């Protein structure tokens, strides 16, 4: 079964390189979410782009997303692509309405000088606009109505996302939660082998 990887905000497809290296026998594809590193105007535009890509896949696959990528995986549960057979959501949020960590993150970004983002090839105004478009995002119903197997995972040290990840797993009828010891938010860097092992385990259970 094919594995499709979705990276997080501020990352590119190469963020998954260490994990992919641990999956040498698997058919994998890492998607670049942002054209030339630039954010789209809204989350909806990104969601639509990803959905079109997923609908074009002509073989069975699972979706593995980190952070923003996990959010997109949750979004894909509504009007699910026919060949999507499972998701693995790493450190993702599913309800950003009145979400304090998200509000704090957005305010911090507003205080950071444009020059800081420019050095990373990011347009600050587009980033803030993109984040603002997510302020009312609530994917709770997607999770509750999900019919496919799911694994939700989060690093032990990721204090902003661990409770949310546990809640997400509890909402989905066919999901489980796994905490990754001694890892923070960027599981792709902190625990690539452990994450790859979890992916292999998930695939074995859901052939």
For the segment 81-135, what is each residue's pLDDT rounded down to a tens digit? 999 999 999 999 999 988 887 888 888 888 888 887 777 677 888 889 999 999 9
- The phi-psi region of residue 12 (left if phi > 0; otherwise alpha if psi is between -120 and 50; otherwise beta) is beta
How many domains does the structure of the chain reveal? 1
Residue 147 lies in a domain: yes
Residue 132 lies in a domain: no
Residue 124 lies in a domain: no
The rounded distance, in Å, linking the Cα atoms of 49 and 33 is 8
Model pLDDT for residues 1-51, shown as the tens digit of each residue: 999 999 998 788 999 999 999 999 999 999 999 887 688 999 999 999 999
Using a 10 angstrom Cβ sphere, with 0-12 exposed, 13-18 middle and 19 or more buried, the burial of residue 70 is: buried
Model pLDDT for residues 136-168, shown as the tens digit of each residue: 999 999 999 999 999 999 999 999 899 999 999
The rounded distance, in Å, linking the Cα atoms of 122 and 65 is 21
Please check whether residue 172 is in contact with residue 141, taking contact to mean a CB–CB distance below 8 angstroms. Answer: no
Residue 199 lies in a domain: yes
Residue 127 lies in a domain: no
CATH number at residue 72: 3.40.50.1820
Give the pLDDT score at 120: 67
Give the residue among 54, 55, 56, 65 at the shortest CA–CA distance from 13.
65
Give the pLDDT score at 119: 72
Give the pLDDT score at 107: 85
**Backbone phi, psi, residue 32, to 5°:** -90, 115
Q: Which residue has the higher pLDDT, 9 or 190?
A: 190
Kindly give the interhelix angle for 124-132 and 100-111, rounded to the nearest 10 degrees: 160
Beta bridge partners of 30: 5
Q: Domain span at residue 151?
A: 2-96+137-205
Residue 116 lies in a domain: no
């Amino acid at each position: 079964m094919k594995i499709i990887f979705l990276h997080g905000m501020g990352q590119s497809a190469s963020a998954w390189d260490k994990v992919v290296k641990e999956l040498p026998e698997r058919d994998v594809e890492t998607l670049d979410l942002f054209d030339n590193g630039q954010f789209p105007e809204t989350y909806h535009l990104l969601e639509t782009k990803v959905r079109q890509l997923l609908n074009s896949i002509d073989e069975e696959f699972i979706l593995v997303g980190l952070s923003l990528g996990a959010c997109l995986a949750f979004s894909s549960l509504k009007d699910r692509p026919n060949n999507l057979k499972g998701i693995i959501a790493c450190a993702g949020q599913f309800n950003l309405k009145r979400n304090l960590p998200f509000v704090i993150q957005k305010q911090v970004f507003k205080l950071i000088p444009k020059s800081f983002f420019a050095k990373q090839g990011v347009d600050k105004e587009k980033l803030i606009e993109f984040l603002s478009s997510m302020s009312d995002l609530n994917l709770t119903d997607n999770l509750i109505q999900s019919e496919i197997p799911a694994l939700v995972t989060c690093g032990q040290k990721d204090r902003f996302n661990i409770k949310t990840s546990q809640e997400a797993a509890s909402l989905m009828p066919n999901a489980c939660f796994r905490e990754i010891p001694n890892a923070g938010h960027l599981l792709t860097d902190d625990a690539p082998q452990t994450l790859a092992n979890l992916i292999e385990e998930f695939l074995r259970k859901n052939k």
